[in-house]
Amino acid sequence: MDGFLFIPAYVFGWMRRSKCESAWDNDPPNAVIGIENGRDKTVYDPWHYVPLLDRKPGALRNGAPFTAWKLPEAIEQVREVLRRYDDWDRQFAGILTAVPSHGLEVVAEACRIALSQRTVSKDAVLSILNRRQDDEPAPVVSIPSCLELGCMPVADCGRYDRLLRSAHAAQ
């Protein structure tokens, strides 16, 4: 661990117009940022900053952790396609925030599918991810014997007709 410095995450804030603004609303996370320092270099772990992209997607454009970030080829291609749009950083940040819950390979596969379908957007990629998640069958739940019905109810559709007749007669 020589040359590796751990700094608490709540130490950092975002500078805007000479005002220090915390990235977290008075609720610092219990996280530690790994920054490797060496001669004339600082290397950040960009995955640590991905949750912040929900709030500050513009950090993708000029944030130090994201400048030399190596991502899978499909995700890089999605980034290049999205750069044509004004809100590319917000859309790409939405895709990246799906990585912690779905996994990098699954998101990369969803990006490949979106590229092959020529429907590249945050909504398209997230829709593909959600459809993949829905393909998994729901687990079978066994009902305890104390919750089972003693006698099944009998369907009496004529009951509704009688209720309607009595309601019309009352008017």
Q: Which comes out higher in pLDDT, residue 64 or 122?
A: 122
pLDDT tens figures, 104-123: 999 999 999 999 999 999 99
| Mean pLDDT of all residues belonging to the chain | 76
The three-point CA angle 86-79-32 to 5° equals: 100
pLDDT at 26: 46
Residue type for 163, please? Answer: L
Q: With a cut of 60, say whether residue 1 has pLDDT above it.
A: no
Helix 88-96 with 122-134: angle, nearest 10 deg:
20
Q: Which pTM was predicted?
A: 0.56
- Give percent of the chain above pLDDT 70: 73
- Whole-angstrom distance, CA of residue 57 vs CA of residue 90: 5
Q: Give every CB contact of residue 126 below 8 A, 6+ residues apart in sequence.
A: 94, 95, 98
**Is residue 39 very low, low, confident or very high in pLDDT (cuts 50, 70, 90)?**
low
Domain boundaries, the chain: 1-44, 57-135
Strands (E), the chain: 4-8, 14-16, 19-21, 32-38, 41-44
Q: Give every CB contact of residue 20 below 8 A, 6+ residues apart in sequence.
A: 13, 14
**Do residues 88 and 96 touch, judged by C-beta distance below 8 A?**
no
Structure tokens at 111: 């990006």
